[in-house]
Every structure is written in structure tokens, then in C-alpha cells.
Amino acid sequence: MKYYLLLGALIISVCSFAQVDTTRLKNLYDRCLDFSEDKIDSIHYYAEYISKEAEHLHYNRGNVLSLRLRGIYEDLSNNYEKAIEYYLQSLEAARLIHAPEYEMVALSDLAIAYFAIREPEKAKEFYLQCARMSEADGKIPSLINTYNNLAVIYTQLKQYDSSRILLEKAVQLGRPLERKGRISLASTYNNLGNLYFKEKKYEEALPFFKQNLIKHTRDNDLNGIWVARLNLADVYIEKHQFDSATMYAQSAMELAQRLESKSKEADSYSMLAKLAEYRGHFSKAYNYIKKWYALDTAILHSDTYKTIAALQERFHAGEREAENKLLQEKVEKETIHSRELTLVAVALAIIGILIAIGFVIKRNAHRRLQATNDLIVQQNEKLSELNYEKNSLISIVSHDLNTPFATIQVWGQVLQNDTTRLTAEQQKAMNRILQAGAYGEQLIRQILDVERADIGSHKMQLEKFELKAFAEEMIDQFKPMAAKKDIRLHVEALGKKLFILSDKYLVSRICENLLSNAIKYTPHGKNVWMGISDEHDSISIKVKDEGVGIDKEELPYLFSKYSKISSQPTDGEASYGLGLSIVKRIVEEINGRITCESEPGKGSVFTVILKK
């Protein structure tokens, strides 16, 4: 069932239409928004009625209301092409009379319709327009609703960062109102949980689903409880915590049966099948899938059964009318009876054809889906094999290349130490050879860092350490490198001690790369700063330089693998386009984020935000 409640509904009693005015037309429109799918014919009737009366009363908003009701009628009839046409006309009419509240409603209707026909990009376009208008309007509940809807679109498009930003905005705006009991953010928390689940961040998803379960249990919201239990079961399945997953999946099934909801029961069977498959109980999984299929097929044909019921009701009405006529005209009895039998036979034949067609369509769709799934599995297996071969080749080549570079380093140092036998020019050449060897070894290590999954497989070692002392250690480590270019290194930190719980090794790697880059791209005699600051529930690490800077157009590609930018090191140092991509991977591994602000000729500032 679909509901259109964006502007709210006011239920009134319409007793007579003899003295219709514009207020009653508006109230009648509001009442239509509450009609369920079984009253869609009434929506169509009232759409025509409002149009005629509005024209008679010269009510300029009547055309907007009538067009929207026509769109809702077509939408509920699953005629999306016609619905979109009416919604577009409603949008145009709202803009013509400068009615922003109806313009936002039309934009939302269009987004919902395009989402239903699986065109999320088009839906996003209309939701973005709606969001801009909601922000200008300043009504927080409407803005939160728009952010939620838009976030769902972004999640479906796998644009997870954009989805997260919108949901965090919704939480920030809604919390003050939620504390006062004026709104509920349950749908926002559920969307945040689903977002983390899509990103396979199950630990982050878990608290949101648990929070919603507690809230819905407190409010005795059985539908909400069912959704929360099913989400928790899904998370625990992915975490391979099968006892917890079983508890939530079975309780979700019990609640679905209690609610007598076939769709909820079907989804619960699907979750139990997934759980059984993960546990290796394939016989159980098969039985659950059969139950899911039986329910899903029943739901698929529910519209057909409604049609059958309507046909039967019309038949019974005809039968009653025939009985009345029998009392009046006994002569026509046999003719009327024969006609009724013919209608029954035709109705039964139509019913049989509809059921057969529905079964064939469902079976063919299932076969195509199975074939597609088999092809995807085969392609994934092939990609895994190719990826494994690629990683093996990289490891072999890197290992073989490392040996000659190590040999160059060893013998070069032997020759360099024997200064009595080398002229000044030869000594300079030997320094160049050793430098080239070191660059070669560094390049191999960075290629391995980027191409292999060693960062992701690094066993996280969390420890609590003080950041000011850590920053001073990092600066001391790079003083020899900076001294060669007469660059002054500085530490900026608060007087109080600031601690963080994280992997010190990975944080060190982040800072090493950023400080190394800052020194490379800073001219002689300039400055480089490393700053530490407190950001409430996070800490900020900034590395700032007075270097050559980066063009604005190149900033979006800064953290890509092997990216080459126009900026060059100031003293001929080597740059391979790998360091910042490694930094981004490490930052994401410890649940942080990194940004860069830069301007050519004025230096750069890299900021890393990490949770405390």
C-alpha cells in the first residue's frame, strides 16, 4: 500500500456538494490522500470533481490538486508512465501559480515514481531539487524526510559517502526535536544501519539495528520490531554468530505469523534459508526456499485473486438481480439462468488462464534468475583466479627485483667507505648510485603496498598513546631529511595531553608519507608544520607546508593510484604517484578520513581526522 502524506491529511465529513467553496475542495483533496488502494476509483472520481468545481469557482490551485490526484490514481494502478505525465503537469501548474509547497510535493511524487520503475538517477535528480527547496523553506521535519529519501537513493547507487552525509545531517537536525518527543528518527537510524551493512561494516551497523529494536519494543510497534529483528539476524549471519542470528530470525518469523503478514513471512523464510546456507545445512535451506517460493508466488498473484473476487462479487450481484426478476417475470427464468451459467463458465475460464499465465511467467523468471546467478558465480571465480595470478606475479617480480637493488646497495656502501681510493667526482657518482638503489627499493615496497592486500590483512594492534610526544618523535625522525634543504620543522599542539586509541604503526605510516611529501615539495629555507588538535569526539592531524601547491583541477585525483600531478619536488626528488593512495587506504582502514586544501605557490594542508 502506498501513502501520500507529505502535506498531511485532514479528514472531514462531506455531506453535500451543493455549496462547494475552495476550502471544502482543499479538504476533499486532503481526504483523498488517505484513501487506500481499494478506493482508487474514488480518487479518480474526486479528481474530476475538483477540476470541474475549481474551474467554476476560479480556484487557481484546483488544477494542481486535480492533476496530482490523477497522478496518484495512475500510480496506484501501476501505470507509471501516465502517473509521471500527470505529476509533471502538476509540477508545472504549481510553478505557474508560485506555490512552492505543492511544487515540493510534485517533485517528491516524481522521485517516488522513478524509484519504483528502477531509475534511481532520475529519482535522485528530483529529490535534489526537493532538498534545495526544503532547505530554503527551513521546515525541519520536511527536510529530514527529504534527506532520508535522498540517502536511500544514494545507497542504492552505491554512493555511500553522499548517503552518509545526508543521514548524519538528518540526525543532527532531528535530535533536538526527538528529545522533545516531536518526531522519531527510527527510519534514519535504520537507513544508517542499512548503509553500513551495504558497506560490509557490520560492527557499525549493529548498534543502529539494536537501538531501533529497543525503541520499537518500547513503543509496541510490531512492524518496526519485525524489521529490526530481521536486520539483526542478517548482520549476525554475516558475522558468523549463528546462535544470535538464529534467535532473531526465528523471533522475526514468529512475529510475522502473529501479524498474519504473508510478505513478512516470506522475507523471514528467505532469511532462515540464508542462515541455513551459511551454516552448511543445505537441506534446511532448500526447504525454507520452497516455503518462501510458495508464499512469494501467492503474493505475486494477489492482484489476480482480487480480480477473481471482484468477478465473483459481480456474479453474485447479477444472481440476486435475476432472482428478483424471477418474481416478476417467470417466463424469462430459463433464459436468465442460461445466461448466468455462461458468465460463470467464462469467468472460470479467464481465471484458469490468468493462473496458468502467472505460473509460467514466474517459472521462466526463476529459471532466468538462476542462469544469471550461475554466470555471476563463474565470472567471480574466474576473476578471483586472475587476481591471485596477478598478485603472485607481483610478489615474484618484486622479490626478484629486490635482490639486485640490495646487491647494489651493499657493494656501493663498500666502495663508498673506501674513500682513499675514490676521487671527489667518483665519490659523487657513488652517492648517485646509492640514491638510485634506495629509490628502486622504495618503489618496490610502495608497489607491494598498493597492489597487495597487506594493509587490510595487517593485524590491528590498538594501543593508547599521547599525540604530542608522538608528533615530536615523527618530527625528529625527519630532521636529517629536512636539514639537507634547510627546511625548519615545527610541532603545533595544545598544552594539555591528548590521547588516542588506535594502531600506532598505521598512524606512523600515514604521518611518514605526509611529512616526506611536504619536505619533497617545499623549497629550500621554508617551513613545514605538524599540528595536533582536539575535535570533540575525534582528533585532527594536520601537515602543512610552504611548498609549490597543487592545482584545483588536480585535487580530485590526488589520492588515486599512480596519479601524476603537475607539481614537482623542489630538489629533484623522486615521486611515483603511490604514497597518497597508500595513505588513503590506511586512513580508511582505521575508520578515518583525509582531505587536502592547496593553492599553487602557497603550499598545501593535509588533514587526517581519526576517532578517539
**pLDDT per position as a tens digit, 411-445:** 777 777 766 777 878 888 878 888 777 777 776 76
DSSP string, 69-99: HHHHHHHHTT-HHHHHHHHHHHHHHHHHTT-
What is the structure's pLDDT at 474?
A: 93
pLDDT at residue 462, rounded to an integer = 86
Q: What is the pTM of this model?
A: 0.39
Cell output for 93? 501548474
Q: What is the pLDDT of residue 560?
A: 79
The whole-number pLDDT of residue 212 equals 87
Q: What is the pLDDT of residue 492?
A: 92
Nearest to 530 by CA among 599, 586, 474: 474
Point out the residues of the chain with pLDDT beneath 70: 1-20, 36-38, 296-338, 380-403, 406-407, 410, 418-419, 443, 445-458, 562-564, 574-578
What are the contacts of 308-312 at 24+ separation with CB within 8 A?
308/351, 308/354, 311/347, 311/350, 311/351, 312/347
What would the 3-class secondary structure string for 257-325 be?
HHHCCHHHHHHHHHHHHHHHHHCCCHHHHHHHHHHHHHHHHHHHCHHHHHHHHHHHHHHHHHHHHHHHH
Helices 140-156 and 100-116: crossing angle, nearest 10°?
A: 20
Select from 239, 152, 163, 227 the least CA-distant residue to 200. Answer: 239
Q: Is residue 258 part of a domain?
A: no
What pLDDT, on a 0 to 100 scale, did the predictor assign at position 345? 79
Beta-bridged to residue 463, according to DSSP, are 502
d(Cα 91, Cα 467) in Å, to the nearest integer?
56
**pLDDT on residue 388:** 53
Q: What is the pLDDT of residue 95?
A: 92
The SS3 call for residue 547 is coil
Q: Is 403 helix (H, G, I), strand (E, B) or coil?
A: helix
Domain contains 310: no
Q: Residue 426: which domain range?
A: 400-451
Nearest CA to 161 among 507, 593, 549? 593
Is 299 contained in some domain? no
Angle at 142 between CA 165 and CA 29, to 5 degrees: 145
- Average pLDDT of the chain? 80
Domain endpoint, select from 413, 429, 451: 451
- For residue 122, being part of any structural domain is answered with no
Residues 440 and 577 both lie in one domain: no
* Same domain as 507, residue 435: no
Whether residue 7 lies inside any domain: the answer is: no
Q: What is 577-600 written as a DSSP string?
A: S-HHHHHHHHHHHTT-EEEEEEET
Query: Could you read off the pLDDT of 354-406 as tens digits, one per residue?
Result: 888 877 887 787 788 887 777 777 776 666 566 555 655 565 555 456 667 76
Q: Residue 539: inside a domain, yes or no?
A: yes
Q: Which grid coordinates belong to 230?
A: 530481521
Q: Is residue 495 part of a domain?
A: yes
